[in-house]
Amino acid sequence: MDLQLTGKAALVTGASRGIGLATVSALLDEGMRVVAAARTITPELRATGATGVAVDLTTADGPARLVARATAELGGRGGLDLLVNNVGGGDADAAWTGTFLTCTDEQWSDAFDVNFFASVRTTRAALPHLTAARGAVVNVSSTSARTPHAGPITYSTAKAALTAFGKALAEELGPRGVRVNTVSPGPVRTAMWESPDGYGAQLAESLGVPHARLLDGLPDTAGMVTGRLVEPSEVAALIAYLGSPVAASVTGADHVIDGNSVKTV
């Protein structure tokens, strides 16, 4: 299928690895011009050929600086066709496996800065350019927004805010020609689960089981009828479709990609 993205301009945040890196590759394969933002420009991101911009989007001025740099790099077409707000997660700390009473105000603030406010501020800064292009926004949330008991309370709550933000924003921006959709993955084969210092490893330690055993049993524990974790490339393909003119009537929706781990409609 031709997604009609050739020559169009995209900005992807959280692009150094996992879903973000896969999304950069998918959009480049569709012929887009891509600016890829991350705190650190990894060798893997550099190898894609995208224009990498190192930025911390949890700072108040980081998103505006990123959008200014991105629009300058993407050149004089006057618009931005696609913004992918993928930045999220955060550095695993005690809040990820702790309880409500053990989470500090600082941990709550950190979770919302990276999983919510970074996307709010980046979207605000990019909006004039998205409007000029009658473009699209895709926010990457999580099934934890729908099943908040299944993830760290700070992360799940921030992702729920991001999902609600996308729905409300679609209503406001639709008359201006800008579509907004959300993608909510279940467990994905990324560093969040697989890294020895990520959430998966911390969860395994808190449960007293080997990390490898937790990963092997995760699809079954999560109720994924596919029997495996979601691949980053599968999420990236969905993002590319939603950001394309082929999905011109799709807006305000939350698209779950989780192997049917969420059992409600």
Q: Which of 58-62, 191-195, 255-259 is predicted with the least confidence, judged by mean pLDDT?
A: 191-195
* DSSP code string of 56-118: -TTSSSHHHHHHHHHHHHH-TTS--SEEEE--------HHHHS-GGG--HHHHHHHHIIIIIH
Q: Give the model confidence (pLDDT) of 142-170 as tens digits.
A: 999 999 987 799 999 999 999 999 999 99
Q: Per-residue confidence at 97, pLDDT binned at 50, 70, 90?
A: confident
% pLDDT > 90, the chain: 89
**Does pLDDT of 3 surpass 90?**
yes
Domains of the chain: 9-191+232-257 (3.40.50.720)
Res. 96: pLDDT tops 90: no
Please give the mean pLDDT across all residues of the chain: 95
Share of the chain above pLDDT 70, in %: 97
pLDDT of residue 204: 93
Q: What burial class does residue 195 get, using C-beta atoms within 10 Å of its C-beta: 0-12 exposed, 13-18 middle, 19+ buried?
A: middle
Q: Residue 256: which pLDDT band, with cuts at 50, 70 and 90?
A: very high
Q: Could you tell me the pTM of the whole model?
A: 0.96
- Band of the pLDDT at 185, cuts 50, 70, 90? very high
Catalytic residues: 155
Q: Does 178 score more than 70 pLDDT?
A: yes
